[in-house]
Amino acid sequence: MSEYYNYIKALHLIFVVTWFAGLFYIPRLFIYHIEASLKPSPEKEILGHQLKLMTKRLWFIITWPSAVLCTLFAIWLLVIMPGWLEQGWMHIKLVFVLLLFVYHLKCHQIFKQLQRDEVKYTSKFMRIWNEGATLILFAVVFLAILKSTFSWVFGLVGILGLGILLMLGIKLYKRIRDKNPNA
């Protein structure tokens, strides 16, 4: 089975990429959907219909299948490499993967609400929410690449720093957008 390790790992990584692509784009579509709900008719209905369709296709054709396949290939890798489950870095990585599933399921809840035209969040909230997957991605990649050489203090400071930079970027973008609505 270990002769297939590189193929399984490659497939796992491909589905990690496509899963994150979906998780990066879906909140952006949520933002557009929320902002479209504030527009006058018939623009509101036309945009709402199109955004529902785009979101549904992204969610069920790319994001969910990628999450499932990524997980199946990850489990297969753990079967081939059972020693990983004894290593501290893998325990921490699996915590972040669990957080990723929580994030994914919350996105699914928001998806279903917007499909029913229930707007419960602001576009500002969604812009901040959109960065959740980014923080998880950074943590998982650094853990997977650096493994036991990863300095937990440095990593924690780095993730917090990245979060602060992302929030500052959101504030800067809002200022630019408020000055120039077409930006």
Closest CA to 92 of 131, 157, 144, 137: 144
Question: Is there a contact between 27 and 51 (Cβ–Cβ < 8 Å)?
Answer: no
What does the pLDDT read at residue 148?
A: 63
Inter-CA distances, 40 with 15, 105, 117, 177, Å:
39, 31, 15, 21
Question: Is there a contact between 96 and 143 (Cβ–Cβ < 8 Å)?
Answer: yes
Question: Is there a contact between 76 and 11 (Cβ–Cβ < 8 Å)?
Answer: no
- For the chain, which residues make up each domain, given as ranges? 2-179
Is 91 annotated to bind ligand? no
Is 12 annotated to bind ligand? yes
For residue 151, what pLDDT band results from cuts at 50, 70 and 90? low
Residue 149 predicted with pLDDT over 60:
no
For residue 1, what pLDDT band results from cuts at 50, 70 and 90? low
Tens-digit pLDDT profile for residues 62-105: 999 999 999 999 999 999 999 999 988 888 889 999 999 999 99
Tens-digit pLDDT profile for residues 14-31: 999 999 999 999 999 999
